[in-house]
Structure 1
Amino acid sequence: MQTQFLGFGLGLRASHFEQIITDKPAVDWFEIISENYFVAGGKPWYYLNKIRADYPVVMHGVSMSIGSTGALNFDYLQALKSTIARVEPQWVSDHLCFSQVGDFNSHDLLPMPYTNEALEHLASRIHHVQEFLGREMIFENVSSYLTYKDSQMSEWDFLAALHNKTGCRFLMDVNNVYVSARNHQFDAMTFLNAIPTEAIAQIHLAGHQDFGSHIIDTHDEDVSSAVWDLFENYAKQLDPVSTMIERDDNLGSLQDLMAELEHARQLVAPIWQLGVNSE
């Protein structure tokens, strides 16, 4: 399955609903958090139905926990499937991680151990999830702050092997790559260069907080100059990929986010040979 190049998008957040409907800003598409719409109706659906009449929408989940070792949560998957049917998104993504261990839910996106056993486990889980949903899923790389002694390969080799084994594609979060590279002292471009370019379905750009000895993926800051540089260098090896600014806290104004989005567009427009409006 190929994903259409939608251009440059934003995460859809409630504080901007009214302005988006009124002003119809020059954003190419919006990404929603899937779980926010696991309800029958109410304000989220009222606003989303108005917005999706004017903009393409993609869905991004945070709770699938595809890497967990417990049984797949089919109640969750049914809610996701029902929401997909109502939203009719361009594509659906979640994170390549686990958040649950037994009955304990960490409410965090925990990195996988990069072992052959984990690779086989994920391949099986992805197959069953996609079969149940009746569509392809896209998976995002997460930022990390620890590594496992049992890992048998690097994260980038693990992702490349997973793509080769399953055909699954990735939402490449460039900020997450940068965060992990700084925390674990590897070269971020080594990571990005190892992933087959045909496996990249979407790009996230976000901010982080730098504490010197380590950095934390917070999604509450402007995109850093280092991440902009990494994105620009990475774009040189890609065909146009739908790219968005992801901001979850300290949102600021819609105009500020659109300015960041326009900066992303201008950075890669000459590389991807795009017109000023990505047409």
Structure 2
Amino acid sequence: MILSQLPTLGTGLGFRQPFKSDLFLNRQQVDFLEIVAEHYLDSPWHKQQELELLAAHFPIIPHAINLSLGSAEGLDVDYLRKLAALVKQLNPPWWSEHICFTQAGGVDIGHLSPLPYTQEAVEVVCRNIAEVRRWIDMPFIVENITYMVTLPGAEMTEAQFLAEIVERADCGLLLDVTNLHTNAVNHGYNIDDFLNQLPLERIVQLHFVGGHWHDGVLIDSHSQSTPVEVWQLMDKVVAQVPVKGIVLERDENLPLFSELVGELQQAREIGRSHQRWG
């Protein structure tokens, strides 16, 4: 996959229904939208209508959360069929999922769970991505997640694990800079070392937002404005990488839309300062 040929979208927003009206009042401030794919699978008529309205006014990137690329038993074909239909309907420049598992033994575990950093897990993820490609023939990027515990038996670092997957599966990377910051704080690793182990040229998109502290642990709750450390990390990455898009992912404690616009503008200026877009 020739990632450099993907279009540059700019700064986008993870669409959430509560701010739909404000979004259309501020259309010029949002370059594109990222939707949670599952909100539009088996969806009622009014959700399909909403999706058509959004797609008529913004480029749309589908972001899936329940594909479970790390499931050793393989993928849910019924789910994959529905996801493929959605992606085909939207015809996006790329689409995304997480490097994790959400199902085990046929049970949906309800959250994004980390994988052991082993060669076996790399094989599983790459095999599942190959299956996804048989259904969805569009550029695919995968995201790093946050995790509370590090699974035992690691044969490589998290960054090496991500690198091996995107290189072997020939896909792009959705680098969530908030997740990277959160994991570095909670697990005590060096962000520069992490970035040095990644194939930076494979980074297509970034996610950013703020979380909150609880009992000395930084929680990736998507509930606060973006902290200065994440802005600094974003600047560091954008300085090195010709990213195609940066997305604000706010889910909880939604502020006035003007605050979201302010964060988008700050991200846009970071891109401009490194000549990533006009």
For this structure pair, what is the TM-score category when the shorter chain's length is used for normalisation? over 0.9
> For 2:29, what is the secondary structure of its paired residue?
coil
Q: Which stretch of structure 1 is more off in the superposition, 38-47 or 175-184? A: 38-47
Among 159, 177, 182, the alignment partner of 1:179 is 182
State the one-letter code of the partner of 1:211.
H
Distance 2:48 2:257 in 1: 20
Q: 1:162 to 1:71 in 2, by over 3 A?
A: closer
Identify which of structures 1 and 2 has the higher relative contact order when contacts are C-alpha pairs closer than 8 Å and 6+ apart.
Answer: 2
State the one-letter code of the partner of 1:162: I
In the alignment, structure 2 segments of 5+ residues that lack a partner are: none
Q: Does 1:85 align with 2:80?
A: no
RMSD over aligned Cα atoms: 1.6
TM-score (norm 2): 0.93
> Which residue type is aligned with residue 117 of structure 1?
E
Which residue among 227, 230, 234 is the counterpart of 1:227?
230
What residue is the counterpart of 2:75 in the other structure?
Answer: 72
User: Does structure 1 retain, via aligned residues, the 8 Å contact 2:238–2:270?
Assistant: no
**1:222-275 per-position Cα deviation (integer Å, ceiling 9, x unaligned):** 11111111111122111243101111111222221111110111233212x25x
Q: Give, in angstroms, the shift of residue 213 of structure 1.
A: 2.9
How many equivalent residue pairs? 275
Seq. identity, %: 32
Cα displacement string for residues 64-87 of structure 1 (whole angstroms, at most 9, x for unaligned residues): 111012231000000101111222
Structure 1 residue 40 displacement after superposition: 5.2
Q: How does 1:1-279 map to 2 (within 5 A)?
A: 1=1, 2=3, 3-39=6-42, 41-211=44-214, 213-271=216-274, 273=275, 278-279=277-278
Residue identity opposite 2:52 in structure 1: N
CA offset at residue 94 of structure 1?
Answer: 0.8
Quick check: 40-49 or 7-16, which moved more?
40-49
Instruction: List runs of 5+ in structure 1 lacking aligned partners.
Output: none
Partners of 2:124 and 2:43 lie apart in 1 by 33
Deviations 1:162-220 (A, max 9, x none): 22222121110000011111111001222123211221111001111123632111001
**C-alpha distance in 2, partners of 1:23/1:176?**
28
Structure 2 CA distance for partners of 1:22 and 1:260, relative to 1, 3 Å = closer
Secondary structure of the structure 1 residue equivalent to 2:109: strand
One-letter amino acid matched to 1:137: F
